[in-house]
Amino acid sequence: MTEALAFWGVAIGLGVLALPLALRLFPRFPDAGAGLSFTLGLTLVAAGYFLLRVVGLPAGQIGFIVAIILFAVAAVAFALLGRRRFLPTLTRSLPGLAVAGAVFSALFFGYAAFRAYAPDIAHTEQPMDFLYLNAMLASPDYPPHDPWFAGEDASYYYGGYLQAAVLTGASDVWPATGYNLSLAAVFAAAGTAAFSLGAALARWLFGRRARRGGALAGAGAVLLLLFGGPLASVFELASSHGADNQGVYEAFGVEGLVRCGPDADATCTGRRLDPTDTWYPDDFWPWWRMSRMAYWGFAQGQVTTITEVPAFSFILGDLHPHVMAIPGVLLALALCAALWRGRGALSWREHLRRPWPLLVVAFVYGSLAFVNAWDVVVLSPLLALAVFARNRRDQPLGPALLDTASWLAPPAVLAVVAFIPWWLDFSPESGGIYAYSGEGTRIEHVLLMWGVLIVSALALLRVAPRRGRSFSSLSLGLLLAILPVLIWLPLAAFERTAAPSAVADGLPAALGARTAGAWITLAFYGVSLWFLAAATIHLNRRKHAATPVIGLAAFGVLLLYLTELFLLRDALFGLPRLNTVFKLSYQAWIVLSLAGGIGAVAAIRAAPPSFRPLVVTPLAVLLGAALVFVVISVPNRAGGFEESVGLDGLRYVERATPGEYGLVRWLRDNVERDAIVVEASGRGWERDAGGAPVLREHASSYNSAASRVGYRTGLQTPIGWPGHEVTWRGSSPELRAEIARRQDLVDLVYTASAPSEALAALEALGASYVVVGPLERSRYPDGLLPPFADFLETVFSQGAVTVYRVPSYEDLR
pLDDT in tens, 534-549: 999 988 888 888 899 9
List pLDDT tens digits, range 280-297: 888 888 888 888 876 666
Look up the CATH number of the domain holding residue 683.
3.40.50
List pLDDT tens digits, range 738-788: 999 999 999 999 999 889 999 999 999 999 999 999 999 989 887 889 999
The whole-angstrom separation of Cα 810 and Cα 813 is 5
CA nearest to 148, candidates 777, 715, 699, 729: 715
Residue 630 lies in a domain: no
Residue 642: CB partners within 8 Å, gap ≥ 6? none
Cα distances from 70 to residues 73, 82, 346, 809, in angstroms, run 5, 19, 30, 43
β-pairing verdict for 677-678 and 801-805: unpaired
The whole-angstrom separation of Cα 564 and Cα 519 is 10
Residue 631 lies in a domain: no
Q: Which residues of 728-767 are buried (b: 16+ CB within 10 A; e: fewer)?
A: bbeeeeebeebbeebbebbbbbbbbeeeeebbbbbeebbb
The whole-angstrom separation of Cα 230 and Cα 630 is 10
Residues 194 and 237 grouped into a single domain: no
- The SS3 call for residue 436 is strand
Residue 127 has pLDDT above 90, yes or no: yes
Whether 420 and 153 have beta carbons less than 8 Å apart is answered as: no
Residue 430 has a pLDDT of 65
Residue 614 lies in a domain: no
Residue 502 has a pLDDT of 41
Residues 264 and 393 grouped into a single domain: no
Residues 506 and 369 grouped into a single domain: no
Residue that finishes a domain, picked among 255, 281, 306: 306
Q: What are phi and psi of 161, to 5 degrees?
A: -65, -35
Whether 749 and 762 have beta carbons less than 8 Å apart is answered as: yes
What is Dmax (Cα atoms) for the chain? 93
Residues 222 and 240 grouped into a single domain: no
List pLDDT tens digits, range 249-273: 888 888 777 777 666 666 666 666 7
Residues 244 and 200 grouped into a single domain: no
644's torsion region: left (phi>0), alpha (psi -120 to 50) or beta? beta
Residue 642 lies in a domain: no
Residue 638 lies in a domain: no
List pLDDT tens digits, range 544-592: 888 999 999 999 999 999 999 988 776 665 566 777 888 899 999 999 9
Residue 305: CB partners within 8 Å, gap ≥ 6? 292, 293, 294, 441, 577, 578, 581, 582
* Residue % of the chain over a pLDDT of 90: 57
In degrees, rounded to 5, the angle at the alpha carbon of residue 798 between the alpha carbons of residues 797 and 799 is: 125
- Cα 522–chain centre separation: 27
Residue 283 lies in a domain: yes
Residues 725 and 595 grouped into a single domain: no
Q: Which domain, by its residues, includes 349?
A: 2-227+320-423
In a 10 Å sphere around its CB, with 0-12 CB exposed, 13-18 middle and 19+ buried, how is residue 608 labelled? Answer: exposed
Residues 575 and 523 grouped into a single domain: yes
Whether 132 and 161 have beta carbons less than 8 Å apart is answered as: yes
266 half-sphere exposure, CB direction, 13 A CA radius: 0
CA nearest to 774, candidates 664, 680, 678: 680
Q: How far apart are the first and last CA of the chain?
A: 52
Residues 411 and 472 grouped into a single domain: no
The whole-angstrom separation of Cα 666 and Cα 562 is 50
Whether 718 and 746 have beta carbons less than 8 Å apart is answered as: yes
Residues 417 and 331 grouped into a single domain: yes
Residues 44 and 124 grouped into a single domain: yes
The whole-angstrom separation of Cα 766 and Cα 444 is 57
Residue 626 lies in a domain: no
Mean pLDDT of all residues belonging to the chain: 88
Whether 148 and 131 have beta carbons less than 8 Å apart is answered as: yes
76-90, 123-137, 366-380, 462-476: the lowest-pLDDT one: 462-476
Residue that finishes a domain, picked among 549, 579, 606: 606
Residue 190 has pLDDT above 80, yes or no: yes
7-21, 494-508, 542-556: the lowest-pLDDT one: 494-508
User: CA torsion, points 110, 113, 118, 123, in degrees to nearest 10?
Assistant: 50
Q: Compute the average pLDDT of residues 201-230.
A: 89
The whole-angstrom separation of Cα 224 and Cα 212 is 18
Residue 310: CB partners within 8 Å, gap ≥ 6? 190, 225, 226, 323, 326, 586, 589, 590
Residue 54 lies in a domain: yes
Residue that finishes a domain, picked among 306, 336, 364: 306
Residue 575 has a pLDDT of 61
Residues 156 and 218 grouped into a single domain: yes
Q: Compute the average pLDDT of residues 222-238.
A: 93
Q: What are phi and psi of 344, to 5 degrees?
A: 85, 155
Total number of domains in the chain: 4
Residues 745 and 716 grouped into a single domain: yes
Strand locations in 561-682, DSSP E? Answer: 566-568, 677-678
